[in-house]
């Protein structure tokens, strides 16, 4: 029997500021899990530190709220030990692209079959609004004493060149689109990256909900012209169906990832299921890896005795 999004709610009070994009992302997760037909026990939501880190407590699924920047290493360990768990890692932009940037890149190299969602609001909210790695240079959000001196990281671009085989962007206030991106990401065979744009109503007074909606740029009829547009509606095809297309598709994704300002694409930038997943790579070395992954091995007999035979190890060490 399929579950409803509300079956993935917990009774933990969500303590984000009113208007926070995290509510949208939380809803998007719950809706996606319901649509995917998953049960709470089949999912592990792994989160980092910051406002987004708490989201794990608001979703009914195994929740692992980890350390600042370390979401992906925890998720990696969980997925390697039990590849049958649906692992969804979530974290902030500072978490994933600042303190955790090394993990962001290196997790891409493994292509584990899991999903990683970055909440991108341009600021470190919980520490009161410092610039995050995705804030554009020269922007001065309201709690910054001076304009941002650093260039911004391009999350989609970094994902594509780091080996993520699915890269998409969505928006916290377009929950249906976000749900679709999460569903596609989870279904994707390989490591899926989803950048979710979101306003921070408390500290980011520049890329606000009104800014995304384009309320500052109304057309002749006075209708706001949203800055966001859907990539797939423009006929953009991100799918690599043959390796010969890969370079060109990556370049197209990077090209789209450069767009910012008055036109910001959301949707799938890149998708490649030809690349073997980490599980598949492991199964080449350990043929029974998927049947008996590390978390599901017996270790001992009914008397509790370790059943391992060390003679292969000892063969070369024997002195006779």
Partner 1 sequence: MAGGAQGSGVDTAANIFGKACGYGGLYVFGRREYHSNIKGLHSYFHLRISPDEILANINDVNLLAAFDAETVVRHINEVVPGGGVIIGSQQVNTKVLDIRTLPPEFKAQLVKFMEENGVGETLNDWLNHAKKRNVTVFPVPYMELLNQIGEKLGIEKISKITRMINVLTIGVSFALFKYDRSLAEKAVRETFAAKGKIAEMNVLALNHAYDYAEEHFKDSFKHRIEKTAVEEERLFLTGNQAVAMGKVLGGCRVQTYYPITPAADESEYLEAHQIMKTAAEDEAIVVVQTEDEIAAINSASGAALAGARAATSTSGPGFSLMTEGLSWAGKSEVPVVITYYQRGAPATGLPTRNGQADLRFVMHAGHGEFPRIILASGDIQECFYDAAKVFNLAEKYQMPVIHLLDKAMANCSQTYPVFDYGNFKIDRGAVLTEKDLEGKEYKRFRLTETGVSPRVMLGTKGGVHWYTGDEHNETGHISEEPLNRRLMMEKRMKKLDLVEKEVPAEDKLKFFGDPNSENVVVSWGSPKGAIIESIDLLKQEGFSLGFVQMRLLNPLPAEEATKVLAGKKRIIDIEDNYLGQLGGVIKEKTGIAPNFHILKYTGRPMTTTEVHAALKKILTGKAAEREVLMFGS
Which residues in this chain contact partner 1 in the complex, by CB under 8 A? 10, 12, 39-42, 44, 46, 49, 54, 56-57, 60-67, 70, 72-82, 84-85, 102-103, 105-106, 282, 285-286, 288-289, 292-301, 303-314, 317-320
Nearer to partner 1, 75 or 123 (CB): 75
Which tokens go with 156?
Answer: 């989609």
Q: How far is the CB of 182 from partner 1 (least distance, A)?
A: 19
User: In 3D, which of 153, 177, 196 has the Cα closest to residue 21?
Assistant: 196
H or E, element range at 87: strand 86-92
Q: Which residue has the tokens 């409803």?
A: 4
Burial of 15 (C-beta count, 10 Å sphere; 0-12/13-18/19+): exposed
Nearer to partner 1, 12 or 210 (CB): 12
Q: Which residue has the tokens 């987004």?
A: 52
The CA-atom distances, in angstroms, between 21 and each of 58, 93, 114, 245 are 14, 13, 23, 36
Nearer to partner 1, 86 or 174 (CB): 86
Helices (H), 2-70: 21-35
Q: How far is the CB of 132 from partner 1 (least distance, A)?
A: 20
Q: How many Cα atoms sit within 13 Å of 230 on the Cβ side? A: 9
Burial of 209 (C-beta count, 10 Å sphere; 0-12/13-18/19+): middle
Q: How far is the CB of 308 from partner 1 (least distance, A)?
A: 5
Nearer to partner 1, 221 or 298 (CB): 298
Q: How far is the CB of 282 from partner 1 (least distance, A)?
A: 6
Q: How far is the CB of 105 from partner 1 (least distance, A)?
A: 8
Which tokens go with 320?
Answer: 């006779």
Q: How far is the CB of 226 from partner 1 (least distance, A)?
A: 36
CA distance 265 to 140: 23
Q: Mapping DSSP to helix (H, G, I), strand (E, B) and coil, where does residue 79 land?
A: helix
Q: How far is the CB of 297 from partner 1 (least distance, A)?
A: 5
CA distance 56 to 62: 8
Nearer to partner 1, 70 or 230 (CB): 70
Nearer to partner 1, 12 or 239 (CB): 12
Nearer to partner 1, 101 or 206 (CB): 101
């Amino acid at each position: 029997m399929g579950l409803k999004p509300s079956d993935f709610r917990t009774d933990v009070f969500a303590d984000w500021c009113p208007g926070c994009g995290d509510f949208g992302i939380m809803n998007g997760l719950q809706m996606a899990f319901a649509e995917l037909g998953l049960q709470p026990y089949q999912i592990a939501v792994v989160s980092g530190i910051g406002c987004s880190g708490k989201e794990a407590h608001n979703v009914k699924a195994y929740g692992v709220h980890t350390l600042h920047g370390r979401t992906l290493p925890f998720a990696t360990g969980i997925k390697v030990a039990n590849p049958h768990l649906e692992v969804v890692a979530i974290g902030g932009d500072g978490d994933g692209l600042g303190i955790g940037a090394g993990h962001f890149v290196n997790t891409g190299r493994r292509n584990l079959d899991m999903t990683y969602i970055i909440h991108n609001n341009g600021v470190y909210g919980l520490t009161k609004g410092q610039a995050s790695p995705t804030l554009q240079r020269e922007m001065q959000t309201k709690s910054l004493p001076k304009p941002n001196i650093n260039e911004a990281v391009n999350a989609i671009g970094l994902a594509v060149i780091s080996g993520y085989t699915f890269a998409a962007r969505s928006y916290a206030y377009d929950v249906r689109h976000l749900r679709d991106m999460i569903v596609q990401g989870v279904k994707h065979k390989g490591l899926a990256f989803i950048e979710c744009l979101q306003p921070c109503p408390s500290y980011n007074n520049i890329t606000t909900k009104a800014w995304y909606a384009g309320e500052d740029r109304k057309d002749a009829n006075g209708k706001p012209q949203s800055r966001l547009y859907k990539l797939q509606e423009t006929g953009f095809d991100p799918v690599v169906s043959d390796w010969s297309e890969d370079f060109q598709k990556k370049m197209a994704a990077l090209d789209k990832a450069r767009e910012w300002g008055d036109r910001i694409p959301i949707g799938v930038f890149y998708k490649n299921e030809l690349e073997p997943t980490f599980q598949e790579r492991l199964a080449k070395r350990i043929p029974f890896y998927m049947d008996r992954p590390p978390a599901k091995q017996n270790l001992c007999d009914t008397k509790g005795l370790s059943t391992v035979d060390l003679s292969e190890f000892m063969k070369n060490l024997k002195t006779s």
